[in-house]
Structure 1
Amino acid sequence: MQHPLRQTWDLDSLFPGGSESPQFARFLDDISARLETFRQELAGAGKPVTAEEAESLSGLVETLQHLMGDLMQADSFTACLAAENQDDKRAVQLGGKVKSLNAEFHSALTRFDSLLLAIPDRVWEGLLHQERWRPVAFALNERRMDGKEKLPPEQEALVSALAVDGYHGWGELYDTTVSQVRIPHETKDGVVLLSAGQASNKLHSPDRAERSALFDSWEASWENYEDFCADALNHLGGFRLQLYKQRGWDSVLKEPLSINRMSAKTLNVMWEVIDRNKDVFVRYMNRKAELLGVERLAWHDVEAPIGSADLTFTYDEGAKIIVQQFRRFSPKMADFAEMAFEKGWIEAEDRPGKRPGGFCTSFPVSEETRIFMTYGGTADNVSTLAHELGHGFHQHVMTDLPVLSQNYAMNVAETASTFAEMVVSDAAVRQAEDASQKLALLDDKIQRSIAFFMNIHARFLFETRFYEERKKGIVGADQLSELMVEAQREAYRDALSEYHPHFWASKLHFYITDVPFYNFPYTFGYLFSAGIYAFAEKEGSGFEDRYIALLRDTGRMTVEELALKHLGVNLEQPEFWQQAVDLAVRDVEQFIEMTNG
């Protein structure tokens, strides 16, 4: 790679001119025109379909996939524009237009689904066994089965149309609210106002006094905006509950489990295994408290660095580490990372005005990805960068598949990203020569276990209980904070001295409208990737092709089928999950051994 690497992404190669791009405006107009044609072609959907008529479906499926790919391209572009500059009002307007087009598309999809439902079962089974349909058979059959459990097409179409300014509108209001949040931070030069993203990075400071002061300021700032956030969360939850009620769905987990193509049994077994092993991680937190010189960790101490407090990495150093470690396991993954760095696919610059957090988004028409984060030089930042590159590699190995077969769920998406993160962090710990650095890297690695086993569990518990309360009526900000602390106490086994009451307000994931319960898939991905990593350790570089084959199947089978086919394991039984947790337990045991005496 050539150095120094650029830290801002290239969006002009996709559509030059940013939010004022004429090419992007024409792209949206073209989508709109083709979408209208698609809707007209589906005008008669719902009538009984003969075997001869069913044979002519291929043209509609082709149109559907092209529209789906184009809309993903448009949605990704507007998301990138809004993330890089939260003051870009034109980007917000374009995002709204794309959401409207998506709503129209989903309305048309309900008619397409009714067409699938109108095909007799015998004819349908015959179609799926034809060679031309096999590449998209899983996705089409999934749509047909899901369609049987939803409202009539006209009602589902109305829901999609109303959701643009209702359901999705509340999510956008939250984004606007976050863009206004400023957290006061005391520095040697006086008080500065940090964006949410900048403040989040500084909560990892090695200086406990600085962390504590900033955390107090962080909590107070979110409290100032709690009513706006509470309104958004309540109306998002209320919309979902009303829709589920109309569809006749009893459980709020039905939709997220279906989206993630996993069974309730798999989810329950995973949490049960984690819960049985939490004592080990409480031991880690107690030992870390001793090392920090406090009786018990506060919320802001959990991710505080241990060991080399000055362990930082320039962007170029972080990139070099990632590529080197990827190459030890997968030359193809390393080549992809190099390409992403060199082609300007990554927005990492630390500057005001960016939205908080990180993401990787796909541009299926261009067969590219873009990665967003704010890089501050910490070990955690290097891990985040590796994580997002894992997402990018996942999409990269699927670009030649039909668009319908590229539609993988969040839980397996998090598998690829977390696996990439694990490759980097595990190698870094093993290769560290300085004991203090080794301890710092090991601690950073264990922090991710704490995040997935405890932080994410708290989110899951909070969201589950929030919906139960929301069924009774509006849940006030004070009650939301009480529910949040209650969930955190349970998830962390009450091992902390201080919690984060307004976490429900500060965490974007509760407000994402595309996927409800944007939490447990992270833990699934972490443990599933740990299980995969155990296989990779045994097989070495020979596992690369097997890993890529698994990734390519993520959009065309359930997670239980995926694990059985590629790993030979049953996810509805505890053995696989225990083996995965054991890898994290091993890290804690090493940490405690290194810090004895």
Structure 2
Amino acid sequence: MSQTQERDRSTLPRWDLTDLYQGVDDPKIDQDLEELEAKATSFEESYQGRIATGECSSAELKKALDEFEDMIRSSTRVGSYASLHYSTDTTDPKRGALLQKVREKSSRVSTKMIFFDLELGQVEDDIFAGYLKSDLLAPYRHYLKVQRENARYHLSKSEEQILEETANCRGRAFKRLFTESVSRIKYKMEIDGEEKLLNQSDLLAYNYHPDRKLREKATLSLAEALEQNVPTLTFIMNTLLAEKEVMDRLRGYKRPESSRHLDNELPEEAVDTMVEVCVKNFDIVEEYYKLKSQLLGLDELFHFDRYAPLLETDESIAYEKACQIVLEAYKAFSSELHSLALPFFEEGWIDVPPAEGKRGGAFCAGVSPDHHPYILLNYTGKPRDVMTLAHELGHGLHDRLAARNHVLDYHPVLPLAETASTFGEMLTFEKLYSELQTDKERLALLCEKLEDTFATVFRQISMFRFERRIHEARRQRKYRMV
């Protein structure tokens, strides 16, 4: 990366989290956590043992749900700040310490609230049916149904409390270790005769470079750096696989993916059908890449050619231009969406540039109905970064529109969430396509969109099948554990 690029990045927007807390040392963080624990203690004393028996009237249960929802809002606020602040520099010890402190205190609070969902699952069927018919409880009807469905996989209260208390030194801890380990990796790559040290976001941007030699170098650099970290990354993976196996066995999930389907509120049969149809049509991807090899004039395609652009120019799109493109695309569809989108850019809700220690990739984080969402990017100026902005903004707009719900129905299940984001991508694609002047430009953009779609559909299915197979192999002890 050139010095000019460094200077350009220094001017890119960083998000402003001060509307949550002023910093890692803000005394309000501890005050809010202490207040939350006091509320949880009072909640436990007021309702424990009364929910399962069904002695609460609909009005009393509504009051309990309102209090429960208020505590979830408070917990989400402080947890979101710790997580978001940490994500922009995972190497900062103060941010890591805050994240750990908040997680541990939140777990202690959760142990006092665990009884509530457990007891909802224990209410007699006829009484629970009455709750579902109650007009007073109508706002919570979906949440009540979901908890009832989850109840068959609950453990005892004591067991659930132990699992929550130890979560921060089990899988949750190893996921954090993975994030920090990968964020610290530097990738060596020779560019213009000079060896550079790149972070992962900058390295992966070369996957889309028109120079085939640079694409190959980037691919080899990625493989070499990851190979040096194989012992740590393999240990993390095996630990998470082991934990997943134990948890599924204790809770009674029949298949490795069963808990995910439950969270997504999807029947296993629907997902199995989707996977089967995608697998039967893998040849579509094969045929496309045969065509792409002809378009590129190559006899053989390699892994590093998958995202090779058809146009020879190494186009860089300024972030300001990307914002304009995406906002205009949303505005052409809906002035309401455009109005909802503007504060993301005007009020510091987006963290834009790649940075040392910053988590890779991109995400949108919804906080709660009474607080706006945040978007994290690693914007490198590639055309696909524009689509990423459109994608994450789709999530953000979904979150803003969902703010009319209470927090227990605020966060969407994954299939619903990704519908909003991919819709935003399509709006932006259609705008860009309509403005192109030549067939060559239109073909290049179509190829990029097809490749994005393959990644969204076929690649995700491939990764799902890999995960399912490795979980099943471990349970049958058919692979060597390191």
Aligned partners of 1:40, 1:326: CA distance in 2, in Å?
Answer: 49
Q: Matches of residues 303-322 of structure 1 in structure 2 within 5 Å? A: 303-307=307-311, 309-322=313-326
TM-score (norm 1): 0.75
What amino acid is aligned across from residue 214 of structure 1 in structure 2? A
Match of 1:83 among 82, 87, 95: 87
Match of 1:49 among 44, 48, 54: 54
What amino acid is aligned across from residue 142 of structure 1 in structure 2? V
Q: Is the 8 A contact 1:135 1:405 kept in 2?
A: no
Deviation at 1:149, TM superposition (A): 2.7
CA spacing shift, 1:461–1:325, aligned 2, 3 Å = same
Q: 1:236 corresponds to which residue?
A: 240
CA spacing shift, 1:5–1:188, aligned 2, 3 Å = closer
Does 2:380 match 1:376? Answer: yes
Q: Is the 8 A contact 1:198 1:352 kept in 2?
A: no
CA spacing shift, 1:232–1:215, aligned 2, 3 Å = same
Q: Matches of residues 359-374 of structure 1 in structure 2 within 5 Å? A: 359-364=363-368, 366-374=370-378
What amino acid is aligned across from residue 23 of structure 1 in structure 2? K
Aligned partners of 2:159, 2:129: CA distance in 1, in Å?
Answer: 28
Deviation at 1:475, TM superposition (A): 5.0
Q: Is the 8 A contact 2:394 2:423 kept in 1?
A: yes
Aligned partners of 1:444, 1:39: CA distance in 2, in Å?
Answer: 54
Aligned partners of 1:242, 1:93: CA distance in 2, in Å?
Answer: 29
Match of 1:430 among 434, 439, 445: 434
Deviation at 1:45, TM superposition (A): 5.5
TM-score (norm 2): 0.92
Q: Matches of residues 500-579 of structure 1 in structure 2 within 5 Å? A: none
Does 2:163 match 1:159? Answer: yes
Deviation at 1:67, TM superposition (A): 1.6
Q: 1:22 corresponds to which residue?
A: 27
CA RMSD in angstroms comes to 2.2
Q: 2:5 corresponds to which residue?
A: none
Q: Is the 8 A contact 1:167 1:235 kept in 2?
A: yes
SS in 1 for 2:153: coil
Q: 1:553 corresponds to which residue?
A: none
Aligned partners of 2:29, 2:267: CA distance in 1, in Å?
Answer: 40
Deviation at 1:366, TM superposition (A): 4.6
SS in 1 for 2:254: coil
Match of 2:251 among 247, 253, 259: 247
Q: Is the 8 A contact 2:52 2:121 kept in 1?
A: no
What amino acid is aligned across from residue 96 of structure 2 in structure 1? V
What amino acid is aligned across from residue 343 of structure 1 in structure 2? E
Does 2:17 match 1:11? Answer: yes
Q: Is the 8 A contact 1:205 1:304 kept in 2?
A: yes
Match of 2:37 among 12, 32, 35: 32
Q: Is the 8 A contact 2:278 2:461 kept in 1?
A: no
Gap regions ≥5 residues in structure 2:
1-9
Aligned partners of 2:39, 2:327: CA distance in 1, in Å?
Answer: 41
Q: Is the 8 A contact 2:340 2:397 kept in 1?
A: yes
Task: Give the percent of matched residue pairs that are identical in Structure 1 and Structure 2.
Answer: 24
CA spacing shift, 1:411–1:380, aligned 2, 3 Å = same
Q: Is the 8 A contact 1:326 1:334 kept in 2?
A: yes
What amino acid is aligned across from residue 44 of structure 1 in structure 2? G
Deviation at 1:446, TM superposition (A): 0.8
Q: Is the 8 A contact 1:181 1:196 kept in 2?
A: yes
Aligned partners of 2:258, 2:182: CA distance in 1, in Å?
Answer: 29
Q: Is the 8 A contact 1:429 1:441 kept in 2?
A: yes
Q: 2:225 corresponds to which residue?
A: 221
Deviation at 1:460, TM superposition (A): 0.8
CA spacing shift, 1:74–1:111, aligned 2, 3 Å = same
Q: Matches of residues 37-186 of structure 1 in structure 2 within 5 Å? A: 37-44=42-49, 48-50=53-55, 52=56, 55-186=59-190
SS in 2 for 1:390: helix
Aligned partners of 1:303, 1:104: CA distance in 2, in Å?
Answer: 47
Deviation at 1:456, TM superposition (A): 1.1
**For 1:108-139, what per-residue CA distance to the aligned partner results, in whole angstroms no more than 9, with x for missing partners?**
44311232234322222112222221111111
Aligned partners of 1:187, 1:25: CA distance in 2, in Å?
Answer: 48
CA spacing shift, 1:90–1:39, aligned 2, 3 Å = farther
Q: 1:419 corresponds to which residue?
A: 423
Q: Is the 8 A contact 2:91 2:180 kept in 1?
A: no
Q: Is the 8 A contact 1:85 1:355 kept in 2?
A: yes
Q: 1:443 corresponds to which residue?
A: 447
Does 2:407 match 1:390? Answer: no
**For 1:434-485, what per-residue CA distance to the aligned partner results, in whole angstroms no more than 9, with x for missing partners?**
333322221211111220233212211110111012214595589xxxxxxx
Deviation at 1:229, TM superposition (A): 1.0
Q: 1:592 corresponds to which residue?
A: none
**For 1:235-276, what per-residue CA distance to the aligned partner results, in whole angstroms no more than 9, with x for missing partners?**
111111111111222211210000001111211222233233
